[in-house]
């Protein structure tokens, strides 16, 4: 059986792929459900985001509209929060939760939150790992070069390190979002909706990390088996 389609694929990777698909489905379901629940205060996600930023003294952080669905993100390089078309003008609980989460990232950056520094240090290596590690591993197997295989595995492990550090960032941004919206007068039903949307989104990060770890273990097992031949 080919190296990358053996029973280890089923044992290690397939369950995490199923989890990732479940997480994506859960995100879409939660977002769609709470997109129909409009916040009583009538504010849009963009306006709520502006209020959160201003209340933290982040008057220099811009808010822009971006294309795509759930493509919302904070860009620390350009100091801007980009909200997707389905979020920017929406007054739904789902949209406000997503926007408040991104505002949480902006506050983290302003406070120099420690996990951000760690993640920023890992990003260059993780980008290399994402682009080249599998190629290096395959090349090492083809050339029967254990050192090349292990170099690829170490490089690939930087992706897992990046994703691991990302988890506390995401959880903390969601925690900040919920706490802030509580102080802004959102009611219990609205806060519950925000929590469900953000919890579903967090599951996608967990699934991504587990998938990377499973692939990493599979690469190690393939390398060990290849060395015995």
Query: pLDDT by residue (tens digit) across 91-148?
Result: 999 999 999 999 999 999 999 999 999 998 999 999 999 999 999 998 998 888 989 9
Per-residue confidence (pLDDT) for residue 1, from 0 to 100: 43
Q: Respond yes or no: is residue 102 known to be catalytic.
A: yes
Q: Are 82 and 66 in contact (CB under 8 A)?
A: yes
User: pLDDT tens digit string along 165-203?
Assistant: 999 999 999 999 999 999 999 999 999 999 999 999 999
| Mean pLDDT, rounded, for 211-229 | 82
Tokens encoding 183: 């102080």
Q: Out of 64, 102, 170, 188, pick the active-site residue.
A: 102
Closest CA to 84 of 92, 52, 204, 76: 92
Phi, psi of 82 (to 5 degrees): -105, 120
Long-range contacts of 161-166 (CB under 8 A, 24+ apart): 161/122, 161/126, 162/119, 162/122, 162/123, 162/126, 163/205, 163/208, 163/209, 163/212, 164/209, 165/115, 165/118, 165/119, 165/122, 166/119, 166/205, 166/209
Residue 219's pLDDT band (cuts 50, 70, 90): confident
């Amino acid at each position: 059986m080919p190296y990358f389609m053996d029973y280890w694929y089923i044992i290690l990777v397939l369950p995490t792929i199923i989890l990732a698909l479940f997480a994506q489905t859960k995100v879409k379901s939660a977002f769609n459900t709470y997109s129909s629940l409009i916040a009583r205060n009538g504010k849009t996600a963009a306006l709520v985001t502006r209020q959160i930023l201003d209340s933290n003294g982040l008057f220099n952080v811009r808010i822009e509209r971006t294309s795509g669905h759930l493509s919302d993100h904070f860009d620390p390089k350009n100091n801007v929060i980009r909200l997707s078309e389905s979020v920017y003008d929406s007054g739904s609980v789902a949209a406000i939760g997503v926007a408040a989460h991104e505002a949480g990232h902006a506050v983290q950056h302003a406070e120099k939150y420690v996990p951000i520094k760690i993640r920023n240090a890992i990003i260059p290596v993780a980008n290399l790992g994402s682009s080249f590690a599998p190629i290096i591993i395959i090349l090492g197997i083809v050339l029967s070069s254990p050192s090349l295989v292990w170099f690829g595995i170490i490089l690939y492990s930087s992706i897992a390190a990046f994703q691991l550090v990302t988890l506390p960032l995401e959880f903390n941004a969601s925690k900040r979002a919920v706490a802030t919206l509580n102080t802004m007068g959102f009611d219990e039903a609205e806060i519950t909706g925000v929590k469900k949307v953000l919890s579903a989104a967090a599951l996608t990060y967990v699934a991504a990390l587990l998938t990377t770890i499973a692939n990493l273990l599979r690469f190690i097992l393939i390398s060990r088996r290849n060395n015995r031949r």
